[in-house]
């Protein structure tokens, strides 16, 4: 009986397949244990932390009041969560979120962010502190953040829906009613990392361009806030209004998100305003907000 040994080509092919499969598995395992660094433990930071942990990520959270102030939150989130200083959050995070007001970014240790993927959730609201450069449109708010964090790979995103609808609108991959969020940035790898993160926590992402283009997704543009919230009576209050408002908004398809981005006109004046905000949103914010300020 003849015995045929595998040819060198077949052995090489089999070896290459095994290496490819092993590499894919390692990447999957590595990705599933990514650490998300969250700067800010207000309503927005908490929402990001809960979604990240539900997706299997570790999170490290900081705020301006120190680790002791987030002790109860860490206990609630469980073993995948820990507290740290801002520097520790930046060092640990594969992605670092800025879940804070834009004015607070001026106090960050900018030299620590070089090479980091930074998810910029900040929004410019002049009522919380006017900025002449932003008012004149010389920079977008995310370009200003990037200047303050030299060397960081800044991606604008997860800034344009409320903390309530971060949770309510999230759906598993493949869901027919999945909603699409815009991102903008100058680094293709960073945008890819944020897109993968969004996919894990319940959203599709669409590229809205560079940081210079990110004015298209800033406050007072069509894809900001209203596209992701359910329609409610603007004056309604009370339990029924709260129950209605905390439901998911109508899903935003990729096509609809692209249309909203493409039809945007730069607001005049630049920046967000609370005019016309549903009263129930204000009520829920006042009821749920901690002493910390939040990004939205």
Q: Express each pLDDT in 110-129 by its tens digit.
A: 999 999 999 999 999 999 99
SS (H, E, C) the chain: CCCCCCCHHHHHHHHHHHHHHHHHHHHHHHHHCCEEEEECCCHHHHHHHHHHHHCCCEEEEECCCCHHHHHHHHHHHCCCEEECCHHHHHHHCCEEEECCCHHHHHHCCHHHCCCCEEEECCCCCHHHCCCHHHHCCCCCHHHHHHHHCCCCEEEECCCCCCHHHHHHCCCCCCCCCCCEEEEEECCHHHHHHHHHHHHHHCCEEEECCCCCCHHHHCCCCCCCCHHHCCCCCCCCCCHHHHHHHCCCCCCCCHHHHHHHHHCCCCCCCCCCCCCCCCHHHHHHHHHHCCCCCCCC
- C-alpha pair distances (Å), 50 with each of 23, 58, 62, 152, 167: 29, 10, 15, 25, 8
Q: Output phi, psi for 98, to 5 deg.
A: -100, 90
- pLDDT the model gives residue 11: 54
Long-range contacts of 54-59 (CB under 8 A, 24+ apart): 54/201, 55/200, 55/201, 55/202, 56/32, 56/80, 56/200, 57/32, 57/33, 57/200, 58/33, 58/34, 58/82, 59/35
Over residues 186-208, mean pLDDT: 98
pLDDT at 1 over 50: no
Instruction: Name 99's Cβ contacts closer than 8 Å, sequence gap at least 6.
Output: 38, 39, 40, 41, 42, 44, 45, 48, 121, 294, 295
Cis geometry, peptide bond prior to residue 269 (ω within 30 degrees of 0)? yes
- Lowest-confidence pick of 70-79, 155-164, 210-219, 275-284: 275-284
Strand order in the sheet with 204-207: 81-83, 58-62, 35-39, 95-98, 117-120, 153-156, 180-185, 204-207
Q: How confident is the model at residue 22 (pLDDT cuts 50, 70, 90)?
A: very low
Instruction: Name 285's Cβ contacts closer than 8 Å, sequence gap at least 6.
Output: 43
pLDDT at 291 over 90: no
pLDDT at 106 over 60: yes
pLDDT at 295 over 70: no
- pLDDT the model gives residue 42: 92
126, 271 Cβ separation under 8 angstroms: yes
- The proportion of the chain whose per-residue pLDDT surpasses 90, expressed as a percent, equals 77
- pLDDT the model gives residue 190: 98
Q: Output phi, psi for 220, to 5 deg.
A: 75, 15
Its pTM stands at 0.86
Highest mean pLDDT among 40-44, 258-262, 278-282: 258-262
């Amino acid at each position: 009986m003849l015995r045929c040994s595998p040819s060198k080509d077949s052995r090489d092919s089999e070896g290459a397949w095994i290496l490819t499969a092993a590499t894919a598995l390692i990447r999957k395992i590595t990705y599933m244990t990514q650490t998300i660094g969250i700067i800010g433990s207000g309503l927005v930071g908490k929402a990001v932390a809960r979604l990240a942990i539900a997706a299997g990520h570790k999170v490290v959270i900081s705020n301006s009041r120190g680790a002791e102030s987030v002790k109860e939150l860490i206990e609630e989130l469980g073993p995948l969560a820990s507290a740290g200083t801002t520097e520790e959050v930046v060092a640990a995070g594969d992605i670092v979120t800025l879940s804070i007001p834009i004015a607070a970014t001026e106090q960050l240790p900018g030299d620590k962010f070089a090479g980091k993927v930074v998810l910029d959730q900040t929004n410019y609201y002049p009522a919380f502190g006017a900025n002449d450069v932003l008012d004149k449109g010389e920079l977008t708010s995310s370009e200003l953040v990037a200047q303050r964090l030299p060397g960081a790979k800044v991606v604008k995103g997860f800034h344009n829906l409320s903390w309530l609808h971060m949770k309510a609108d999230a759906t598993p991959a493949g869901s027919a009613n999945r909603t699409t969020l815009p991102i903008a940035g100058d680094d293709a790898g960073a945008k890819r990392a944020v897109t993968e993160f969004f996919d894990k926590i319940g959203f599709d992402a669409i590229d809205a361009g560079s940081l210079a283009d990110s004015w298209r997704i800033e406050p007072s543009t069509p894809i900001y806030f209203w596209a992701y919230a359910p329609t409610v009576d603007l004056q309604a209050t009370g339990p029924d209004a709260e129950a209605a408002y905390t439901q998911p908004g109508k899903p935003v398809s990729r096509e609809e998100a692209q249309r909203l981005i493409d039809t945007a006109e730069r607001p005049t004046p630049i920046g967000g305003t609370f005019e016309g905000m549903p009263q129930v949103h204000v009520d829920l914010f006042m009821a749920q907000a901690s002493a910390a300020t939040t990004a939205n």
